[in-house]
Structure 1
Amino acid sequence: MFFEMVATLVSGFAGAGVVLLFNKISGGRLPKWAMPVGAGIAMISTTIANEYAWYDRTRATLPEGMKVVHTVEKKAIYRPWTYVKPFTERFIALDEPSLRTHADQPAMRMVDTYFLGRWSAPEKMVILADCTSGKRAPLIDGVTFDADGDISGIDWFSPGEGDPLVTAICELEVS
C-alpha cells in the first residue's frame, strides 16, 4: 500500500511536469488550472492501473502448487470505470500439495485454502470437503477424527451444485 501511494504521488508530479513542459512549448498559453488537472489525471490513472494489476501481480507470486479456484470482481458507483470492466478484489486459492485423505474415507478431502483480498491480510483455512454429498466445512476447534476417519463436531455447509471450492477440491489428484 505504501508503494502504491508513493507511485501515485510521483505520477502526480510527473503529470504536472508534462503540463508544465507543454505550457513552456506553447509559450504560456495553457490556463492556470491545467497543471493541477494534469496531476489529478495522472494520479487517478495510476490508481486505476494499480487496481487492475493487483490480481495478476498477486497471482504471479503464489508458490508452485497453488491453484486459484474462485475470484470476486467488484463494481462501485464511485469507480465508474468498473462498470466497463470490473476489477478482481479478492480470490480463493488452494494449496494442492496439502491435500490429505483417509484410506477408509476417500471421498473426504482436507486441503489448505487461502483467502486473499486487495486491502486485507491473507487468511488460511483448512477446508474439509465431502465429495459424495457436495458439502464442505471449515476445520475449527471442536472437530475430532477417530481412527476410522469418522468426523464429529463438524458444521457442514451445502453450497449447492457447482460450488467452485468443492469442485476444485474433489478434482484434485490423490497421491
Structure 2
Amino acid sequence: MLLEFVAILAAGFALAGIALTLNVLLRRRLPKWVVPASAGAGMLAMAIWLEYSWFERVTANLPQEVEVVSTNRLRAWYRPWTYVVPQVNRLIALDHRFDRRNPALPDQVLTRVLLLGRWEPSRQFGVVLDCAGARRADLTDEVAFAPDGGLAGARWIALPVDDALLRGACGA
C-alpha cells in the first residue's frame, strides 16, 4: 500500500514536471492551471491503472498449479469508470498442489482454497469436495478423518452442480 502511494505521488510529479517543462518551452503560454491539473490527472491515472492491473499482477505471481475459479467484479458509484469496465477486486483459487483423493472414496477431493482480495489479507483453508454429491465440507478443527477415510464431524454444504469450486476440483 505504501509503495502504491509512492507510485501515485511519483506519477503526479512526473506529469506535472512534463507540463512545467512544456510550459517553459512554450514561453509560459499555457494557463496556470495546467501544471496542477496534470499532476492530478497523473495521480488519478496511476491509481486507476493500479486498481485494474491488480488481478493480472496477482495471478502472474501465483504458481502454475493454482487455478483461479471465480472472480468478483466491482462497480461503484464513486468510481464511475467501473460501470464501463468492472474492476476485479477478489478472487477464489484452487491450489492443485494439495489435491488428494482417497481410493476408498474416489468421488471426494481434498484440496486447498485460496481467497485473495484487493486491500484484504489473503486466506486459505482446506476443503473436501464431493463431486458425485455436489457438496463441500470445510476442514475446521471439529472435522476429523474416520478410519474409512470419510469425514467425521463435517458440516456438508450443498452446492449447485455448476459451482466454480466443484468444477475446478472435479475437472468437470
- TM-score normalized by structure 1? 0.93
Secondary structure of 2:158's match?
coil
Classify the secondary structure of the residue corresponding to 1:121: coil
Alignment RMSD: 1.3
In structure 1, the partner of 2:74 is 74
* C-alpha distance in 2 between matches for 1:63 and 1:170: 20
Matched position secondary structure for 1:56:
helix
The whole-number CA distance in structure 2 between the counterparts of 1:113 and 1:161 is: 18
Query: Could you tell me how far 1:163 is from its partner in structure 2?
Result: 0.6
1:115 aligns with 115
Could you say which residue in structure 1 is the equivalent of 2:34?
34
Distance 1:29 1:77 in 2: 37
| Residue 79 (structure 1) shift | 0.7
Residue type matched to 1:87 in 2? Answer: Q
For the pair 1:136 / 2:119, whether they are aligned, the reply is no
Return the offset for 1:81: 0.9
Mapped partners of 1:44, 1:84: distance in 2: 17
Partner of 2:154: 154
Consecutive unaligned residues of structure 2, counting only runs of 5 or more, are none
Query: Deviation digits for residues 101-147 of structure 1, max 9, x if unmatched?
Result: 21211111110111111111211111110111111121101111111
2:3 matched residue in structure 1:
3
The secondary structure found in structure 2 opposite 1:157 is strand
**Match for 1:48: what amino acid?**
I
Shift of 1:100: 1.1
Aligned to 1:19: 19
SS in 2 for 1:109: strand
* Residue aligning to 2:63: 63
2: distance between equivalents of 1:122 and 1:41?
31
Structure 1 distance, partners of 2:120, 2:103, is: 37
CA displacement at 1:30 relative to structure 2: 2.0
Aligned residues: 172
Greater CA drift, 93-102 or 41-50: 93-102
SS at 1:15's partner residue?
helix
1:170 aligns with 2:170: yes
Residues 3-37 of structure 1: CA distance to partner in whole angstroms, max 9, x if unpaired? 11111000110111121122212221222222111
Which secondary structure state, in structure 2, belongs to the residue aligned with residue 120 of structure 1? coil
Distance in 2, Cα, partners of 1:153 & 1:115 = 24
Q: Which moved more, 1:80-89 or 1:18-27?
A: 18-27
* Aligned match of 2:47: 47
**Which range moved further: 152-161 or 40-49?**
152-161
2-structure distance, mates of 1:47, 1:159: 37
